[in-house]
Structure 1
Amino acid sequence: MPIPQSRGLVSRSLLRENAYRAIRDAIVDGTLAPGERLSDAELVAWLGVSRTPVREAMARLEQAGLVRTKPGRYTMVSPLDVRAARAAQSVTAAMHELAVREALPNLSAAELGAMRDANARFADSLRRGDVDAAVRADDDFHGVAVTACANPAVRSVLEQFTPVLRRLERVRFSSLSGRSSVAQHNRIIELCEAGDVDGAAAAARANWQTLAAVLDTALPDDDGDGTDG
């Protein structure tokens, strides 16, 4: 067959996406700390890519609220910002409510089983104090409905705003307060099994709204950038 003229676009796209995800994950897990200055040259050396995917990743991360830039001066990891986090929480809670509402009529027994399995891994991770595993299992739990709803707009919005909240989830899941999510997840599953669309959707929203306690205690109530101007 004729050779596609767009040859090579897939690999470039993967480079961009891999660079974005690697830097994003390092910010979320605290490897790159709030307020830390970021150097293109150091990121290029770390990731083994050219400057172009790094700069594209920086633009996406700034849009997501994970980095701040002042052209010609600095790029830095955004400080934890209570107002940005509350805004992200409101949007994320609404999107998970919508995902469950749209997914539930078509959720299969296998998908409900996947939710149970993810919640069991979540509970085990919390017992062991493995925050990274707890976050992955929580992603897997909520990801069932996000995938099943087949709404690309929901996924796109969540990919933008969830990382801001995952920085907070690490605070929550490292404490005993995170264990309440296990029971909340079980309640969501029960309501899904019962076919209660309104109840399950409301429970999904409520689960994400419980981050309010972390927002009230873990973050400074300002948006300072940690710089001298």
Structure 2
Amino acid sequence: MPIPQQVSGVDRSLLRDDVFRRLRDAIIDGTFLPGEQLKDGDLAEWLGVSRTPVREALLRLGASGLVVAKPGRSTTVSTIDPKAVRDARDVVAAMHVLAVREMAGNATDAELDRMRHANRRFAKALAKDDIAAAMDADEEFHRVPVTVLGNDAIASVLDLFGPVVRRAERERFAADGQASLERHEQLIALLSSGDVEGASDLTFETWHTLDVDDHPEPEQS
């Protein structure tokens, strides 16, 4: 049959990004455990795609430190390395501080409402003990100042180092999500009032409350 000329094909970049996000989230939420081997054929079948976008996603995950590839052997989910988490946390914190410093006093009502909406979602997820939904809402909350800033370099840095931090964050939300909820509310108030130093100090503190011990996480046998 002839191919309709007026219909565009699937955007391959969107497909690659979607596959990357699905695999990234599966590692962050524990669907794939540290030490677990990831086979591109099995992953392609699971996601209903070809092996090419899966292989590309695994390369990106390797750059983020979520997987370890051994050429000619296997690709496995990495263990949570405390130093790597702290290094990534420091970079992520610095990027978010830059974003809120620019947003403080300049935020529109619509932008602040987006943060309030995300924080309401965060509160509801915590009430239901839905950590995955809480993490999604938290990411949406912190994404607002970054989006407002519109700095592609900062967004790229966060895309690279953010997943390592998010993976370690699950334990914090499970143990003390209420503290994060309160810090979100404080940040909205500081941004609204134009308190640049207060907003940047709170943002720095927020990210540096995340810490991990130096006991290596056991790999899956």
- Residue 221 of structure 1 deviates from its aligned partner by 4.8
Which residue of structure 1 aligns with residue 181 of structure 2? Answer: 182
Which residue of structure 2 aligns with residue 193 of structure 1? Answer: 192
1:166-177 alignment, distance < 5 Å: 166-175=166-175, 177=176
Distance 2:155 2:197 in 1: 21
Distance 2:45 2:152 in 1: 34
Assess if the C-alpha contact under 8 Å between 1:27 and 1:66 holds in 2.
yes
What are structure 2's unaligned runs of at least 5 residues? 1-7
Which residue of structure 2 aligns with residue 62 of structure 1? Answer: 62
- Residue 105 of structure 1 deviates from its aligned partner by 4.2
Which residue of structure 2 aligns with residue 126 of structure 1? Answer: 126
Which residue of structure 2 aligns with residue 73 of structure 1? Answer: 73
Answer with 113-122 or 201-210: which moved more: 113-122
**TM-score scaled to structure 1, two decimals?**
0.87
Which residue of structure 2 aligns with residue 4 of structure 1? Answer: none
Distance 2:93 2:183 in 1: 14
When the two chains are superposed, the root-mean-square deviation of aligned CA atoms in Å is: 2.0
Q: How many residues align?
A: 214
Assess if the C-alpha contact under 8 Å between 2:104 and 2:193 holds in 1.
no
Assess if the C-alpha contact under 8 Å between 2:122 and 2:137 holds in 1.
yes
- Residue 194 of structure 1 deviates from its aligned partner by 1.2
Distance 1:34 1:77 in 2: 5
- Residue 112 of structure 1 deviates from its aligned partner by 1.2
1:205 pairs with 2:204? yes
Which residue of structure 2 aligns with residue 99 of structure 1? Answer: 99
- Residue 190 of structure 1 deviates from its aligned partner by 1.4
Give the secondary-structure state (helix, strand or coil) at the position aligned to 2:11: helix
Assess if the C-alpha contact under 8 Å between 1:106 and 1:148 holds in 2.
no
Distance 1:27 1:56 in 2: 16
Assess if the C-alpha contact under 8 Å between 1:20 and 1:57 holds in 2.
yes
Q: Which runs of 4+ in 1 moved over 6 A?
A: none
What are structure 1's unaligned runs of at least 5 residues? 1-6
* Aligned AA (2:139): D
* Aligned AA (1:188): L
Distance 1:171 1:63 in 2: 23
**TM-score scaled to structure 2, two decimals?**
0.90
Assess if the C-alpha contact under 8 Å between 1:104 and 1:145 holds in 2.
no
1:156-175 alignment, distance < 5 Å: 156-175=156-175
1:153 pairs with 2:153? yes
Q: Which has the higher contact order (CA 8 A, sep 6+)?
A: 2
Assess if the C-alpha contact under 8 Å between 1:83 and 1:221 holds in 2.
no
Which residue of structure 2 aligns with residue 144 of structure 1? Answer: 144
Are residues 197 and 61 of structure 1, via their aligned partners in 2, closer, same or farther at CA, if it must alter by over 3 Å?
same
Distance 2:129 2:167 in 1: 16
Distance 1:141 1:55 in 2: 31
- Residue 178 of structure 1 deviates from its aligned partner by 2.2
* Aligned AA (1:109): D
Give the secondary-structure state (helix, strand or coil) at the position aligned to 1:174: helix
Give the secondary-structure state (helix, strand or coil) at the position aligned to 2:69: strand
Assess if the C-alpha contact under 8 Å between 1:92 and 1:158 holds in 2.
yes
Distance 2:168 2:179 in 1: 15
* Aligned AA (2:101): R
* Aligned AA (2:186): R
- List per-residue Cα deviations over 1:152-192 (Å, max 9, x = no partner): 111111111111111122111112x2211111111111111
- Residue 70 of structure 1 deviates from its aligned partner by 0.7
Distance 1:130 1:195 in 2: 33
Which of 202, 220, 226 is residue 215 of structure 2 equivalent to?
220
